[in-house]
């Protein structure tokens, strides 16, 4: 009988406070992954040279200008490639976390119903069970 008296409190907690706490945890995970992979910073600096490696201007000659242009272009392409890979990996991590959160919420909302369905199914199996064999 004590179970029945706790049922309204449990339902209020399950669909109230627990859902809010779950949402808070989910948004914290999304925030963490976005900041861990520095998605906004990497997007803003996509074509910056990799590790700030760039050729500085030397003597003003055609050979030095060509060398500087080729080196700086290659370093910017390397930076863009590596940043793109990290942005894709981070974006996938955020996307997977988002969908896992949605799946968690769907399962969480259905858990009390699943509890009662399994309880009634178990009772019906006990009632249908033939005695003696």
pLDDT tens for residues 92-110?
999 999 999 999 999 999 9
pTM over 0.85: no
Give the per-residue pLDDT at 72.
82
Give the per-residue pLDDT at 76.
84
Give the per-residue pLDDT at 75.
85
Q: Could you report the per-residue pLDDT of 9-39, keeping only the tens digit for each?
A: 888 999 999 999 999 999 999 999 999 999 9
| DSSP of 30-93 | HHHHHHHTTHHHHHHTTTSPGGG--PPP-SS-HHHHHHHHHHHHHHHHHHHHHHHHHHHHHHHH
């Amino acid at each position: 009988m004590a179970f029945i008296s706790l049922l309204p409190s449990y339902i209020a907690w399950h669909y109230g406070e627990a859902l809010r706490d779950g949402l808070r945890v989910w948004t914290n995970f999304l925030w963490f992954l976005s900041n861990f992979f520095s998605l906004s910073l990497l997007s803003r600096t996509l074509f910056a040279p990799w590790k700030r490696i760039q050729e500085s201007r030397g003597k003003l000659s055609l050979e030095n200008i060509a060398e500087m242009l080729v080196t700086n272009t290659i370093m910017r392409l390397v930076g863009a490639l590596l940043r793109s890979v990290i942005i894709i990996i981070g974006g996938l991590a955020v996307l997977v976390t988002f969908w896992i959160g949605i799946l968690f919420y769907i399962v969480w909302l259905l858990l009390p119903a699943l509890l009662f369905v399994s309880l009634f199914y178990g009772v019906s199996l006990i009632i249908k069970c033939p005695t003696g064999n």
